[in-house]
Structure 1
Amino acid sequence: MKLYFINVGYGDSILIEGGENQKHFCMLIDGGSGQHLAYAKPMRTRSADFLKEIGIKKIDILIITHLHEDHVGGLIDVIDRFPVGELWCNCLLPREVLEAAQDFPDAGSGQEEQLHALYGYLHICSALGATARLREITAMSAPLYEDNGFSISCIGPEKDILHTQKEQIRAFFEEPSPRKRTLLLRQLFTLTNRTSLVLKLICCGRTVLLGADTDAECWDRLLRQKVDLKADVLKLPHHGRSDGITTAAARVIAPDIVVVSAPNDQADGCLSPNALGCFDRFSTKFFVTDGADLPPFLHALPHRAIVLNLALGKLDITYV
């Protein structure tokens, strides 16, 4: 089993590939941004281009962790170029809401990115509705998928947060006032990171925790509920910002490897030394998709992806 943490600049895109020939399996978690400027720097790669270059023909399961542009935007190109078997997301909307969303309402200047994220997500749901199985995901104890020693589970967020998100989206499309729509959209995207699907992968006796853009509140809840968080590898939430992890959670997870999907210029608080400092730097290896010079934690040039190779008795990670 291989995990590719694709260098999409500011954003997330993780490809999981396993098996061979007729049993080949491919899962894509998020797709990075759809904006051209996101890929202006060397080595940054659009998800769809990367998948094509390594020979992917079909995506068995596509997962959207939450509705932010740097996770959703790049998937428009992906679904246009690759057949998809299943779509998993944290919010499936009723048909009447999808129909109401056919018109692109004004929500005020400065909110174009939020609108494109929301409409990109709705477009993906509509486009795949006739050809793929759509599945709304919530936290549960049982695995969502199991096959040949590989399993994936969802451990967050709580259902009430996802319910609030769905109601806010519905209210946005039902609201006739542009001014009120602006407020509703702002409220929705303030909440969105907290709706991130937190995924736990187990393969070949190793555990990988994928935190999307979740926050300290989610980690605190998981600790209170005594959820098993121990992992060999952690994808650090929210591009390494300080609000994506706590010292208490880091100590319980105790990963050997921390992967950060982040740009190397530390824009908008990414790659925060406070976040990286939550981990024992002597026993933890740090990898950043876009590379970074951040002593004492790491020094790496930009690469196209980080590849995690999981096999019985070994765990290898490298840049490509």
Structure 2
Amino acid sequence: MTMTTPMGQLLARQPEARFADWLLVAPPADEGLLHGGARRILTLDHAVAALWRRAGHEVHEGLEFALPATPAGVLLFWPKTLALGRWWIEELCRQLPLGTPLMIVGEHHGGVRRVPKMLEALGMACQRVDNARRCSLFESATVAMAEDDQWESFEALALTLVSHPGVFGHGRVDEGTQMLLAALPELHGRVLEIGCGDGVIAATLARGGAEVTAVDSNHLAVEATRRTLAANGLEAAVQAGDMLEGIEGRFEAIVTNPPFHQERQVDTDPTRRLIASAARHLVPGGALYLVANAFLPYRAMLEANFSRVEVISEDRRFRVYRAGS
């Protein structure tokens, strides 16, 4: 099976048995890896976990993982932020025996070339073992690591928000979310938020009296939302999920600032799936409220699935849509 991502193509240059019985951490959806033999996977992404499970792999999902056996080594696919990459390395060092082989693969434009200095600062040895397809592969091993979970709190919109480097908009409320919140009418009854991030929307809705269910594919976001709600004395149901998959019942409103990147590539398919199925999860007279960058082609998708679509707020960068019957 041919590798379909630059990182996968670099790994294809390694000896075939090199990563046998290794744990693959945060791997991409590379067709060659997915269908190239049984793997052990650790991921924080619920949608990615489901993809690897469907391909028949052993998948460990979430912030707490208990492996049935210590892996022969760990291969970390470098994430899109340095802080999240550092967290992964520190967490793997805390969870695995000292001296467990650790290799890190990543794309140059994703910052992987900063790994050697970061590992040096953590007291870890580092050697680059390959370099191709604008990617590098580094070799190291786990060391003793002190506790440092990187959770941070900040104040915004009269709320205490709890965030983490792996959560969208870490440490701030992005402009699109602010526009969405400013445009929303008072919402009551059952309200569903898709893509809850650090919990600012869920907390705002719960504070206004809505019965909120908040969903995110990222387990760090799920935990951040739970911590934000607790920090403000609010309650909501929070769960990991892929858009509307597994959601039961109907809601007075669905609210979302949906993701549109898969790593660094624009990917509107998750939002397309959300729009296509949203009406079935709304009560009569209910509405979908969606904020998006103005250049994204969501109006046509909305008009294909709802009888009434309007822009209730916009500026040069963002639009807030209301779609209903």
What is the TM-score when the length of structure 2 is the normalising length? 0.30
Look at both structures and tell me which one has the larger radius of gyration over its CA atoms: 2
The structure with more helix, counted as a fraction of residues: 1
The structure with more strand, counted as a fraction of residues: 2
Taking CA–CA contacts closer than 8 Å with sequence separation of 6 or more, which of the two structures ends up with the larger relative contact order? Answer: 1
